[in-house]
Amino acid sequence: MKVVIIGGVAGGATAAARLRRLDEEAEIVVFERSGYISYANCGLPYYIGGVIEDPEDLTLQTPERFYRRFRVDMRVRHEVTALHPERKTVSVKNLDAGEEFEESYDKLLLSPGAQPAQPRLPGVGLEKVFTLRTVEDTLRIKDYIDNHRPKSAVLAGGGFIGLELAENLRGLGMEVTIVQRPRQLMPPFDPDMAAFIHAEARRHGVKLALGRTVEGFAERDGGVDVLLKDEAPLHADMVALAIGVVPDTALAKEAGLELGLKGSIVVNGRMETSVPDIYAVGDAVQVKHYVTGQDAVISLAGPANRQGRIAADNICGGDSRYSGSQGSSVVKAFDLTAASTGVNETNARKAGLDADAVVLSPMSHAGYYPGGKVMTMKVVFEKGTYRLLGAQIVGYEGVDKRIDVLAAAIHANMTAIQLKDLDLAYAPPYSSAKDPVNMAGFLVENLAEGVVKQFRLEDVDALPRDGSVTLLDVRTPAEYGRGYVEGFRNIPVDELRERLGELEAGKPVYVMCQSGLRSYIACRVLAGHGFEAYNFSGGFRFYDAVRNDRRLIEQAAACGMDRP
């Protein structure tokens, strides 16, 4: 059996290694257009910033090492220019020698990946306008910075690469502005959770131009003007485009393979395309979202690796199936860690799901052990069934392990209530006896059983201020004095029982504290005395962070620029 693989990196290289482990006799040929068969995409910004010092550390494998270990014919700098399914060959061009030839196959695996979305805008091809996707892109940017010492950069796009690149360029002392058409960074997060990422970026001197549309680029005064719709241009010494990626599927389209969302390759659970004996994996394929069941294109290394393994299994006669992608991810944002899995609340509702969420602010480990830090968790679930739909966490220590627990729980089709039953490891330096994941389960259980009712951030402004309801803040007077929500009066929770006479019977009471815990206790006290009480999800800390972020975005829209 002869297998030809187009593209290396995560999907193609994984498939090649798995094929060899399953079939010692197979002839395996990999054609990779770049000069690198397998490299760490996610590490590219850190090489630019000098965190990763040796460029060879970005290269996970070389053709020589791969051949010695797996006897796979890895041909870099070879571009496949056409597929010929009718005669089971591919046309190939050796980019160094210039020669062209055809290669036959019994089975063909497409792993072309994705390419940076290149908007058709004036000035995209300027020398000082860069994209960041490959090792070659990285070396080009690094070389430009080393030789020209730019003092400022505009990054078009605020996803994973844009955020990581912003951090690394700030580490080099450059002024950095992120321009983003949506009014938030990091689309996997809901806008309220993205507020914490925005605050961290501003704290480290990054300027945010959110809700702006880039219309082109123009050279001026030795730098680049970023032309914005209906606004004055932004000027910088260099520009990096990080506005997302699109599936690189021109070959598949020309060969007549069925295409789906964003031009992605349609595959079944076995990673088979619409054409016999042709498989496809990685960033170029359309998959099912594990939570919503809807078609999706999810460009992440983890799914690409798993798909490569599954395709190899099936090429070798097995029957492996891909169950879908749920988009689990984590990103370092300066000192913060931000992670998500499943669907956020916004996208759950767009998918037609009746979604609700709880927001909590637990400590990373036991409060009595030194060094604990607060994290903000948002756990999304389906009303009625309480099916766990997704989660987002922003914090410092312990974020990654909690998101992985929640990702596993989603994959196991657990309900949000069942999170309370998970038996998770505990020691004071690492967690609490009631882990933050357990705490989320307790909160949802209380809602499900009617132990507590909650109101959310979007409800606060709509609450009547005419005396028909009671708005209550149960923090200490000192906390209240540092900031409060208009209309909320202050009675500390520890004084509430003695001061119940100050509350008018028969009126609903909406209760807030700093994080949601003391207000929950207050709600139970009030319920025990005949009041209808509602607890604010997330607490004043959450409210203040989100409202402050929205205020800054609105000010920037009015004045022309966000300030760090």
* Cα→Cα distances 359→86, 375, 401, 510, 563, Å: 56, 10, 18, 16, 28
Residue 351 tokens, joined: 């998918």
Q: Are 182 and 213 in contact (CB under 8 A)?
A: no
Neighbours of 320 (CB within 10 A): 17
Helix (H) or strand (E) holding 129: strand 129-131
Measure the CA–CA gap between 27 and 24, rounded to whole angstroms: 9
Give the 3-state DSSP-derived string for 204-229, with helices as H, strands as E and coil as C.
Answer: CCCEEEECCCEEEEEEECCEEEEEEC
Measure the CA–CA gap between 540 and 474, rounded to whole angstroms: 11
**42 counts as catalytic:** yes
**DSSP string spanning 275-319?**
STTEEE-GGGEEEEBTTT--EE----HHHHHHHHHHHHHHHTT--
Angle at 103 between CA 99 and CA 108, to 5 degrees: 135
Residue 326 tokens, joined: 């749920």
Q: Which residues does residue 509 pair with via DSSP β-bridges, in sequence order?
A: 470, 533
β-pair type (107-110, 2-6): parallel
Helix (H) or strand (E) holding 527: helix 517-528
Measure the CA–CA gap between 235 and 223, rounded to whole angstroms: 7
Three-state secondary structure call for residue 165: helix
Q: Are 358 and 388 in contact (CB under 8 A)?
A: no
Catalytic hit among 42, 316, 523, 559: 42
Helix (H) or strand (E) holding 63: helix 63-70
Neighbours of 184 (CB within 10 A): 21
Measure the CA–CA gap between 216 and 491, rounded to whole angstroms: 55
Within 13 Å, how many C-alpha atoms sit on residue 95's CB side?
A: 12
Residue 50 tokens, joined: 């000098």
**Cα torsion through 274, 275, 280, 283, rounded to 10:** -50
β-pair type (89-94, 78-84): antiparallel
Selection from 517, 520, 546 nearest residue 535 by Cα: 520
Measure the CA–CA gap between 440 and 362, rounded to whole angstroms: 9
**DSSP string spanning 455-479?**
E-HHHHTTS--SSSSEEEE-S-HHH
Active site residues: 42
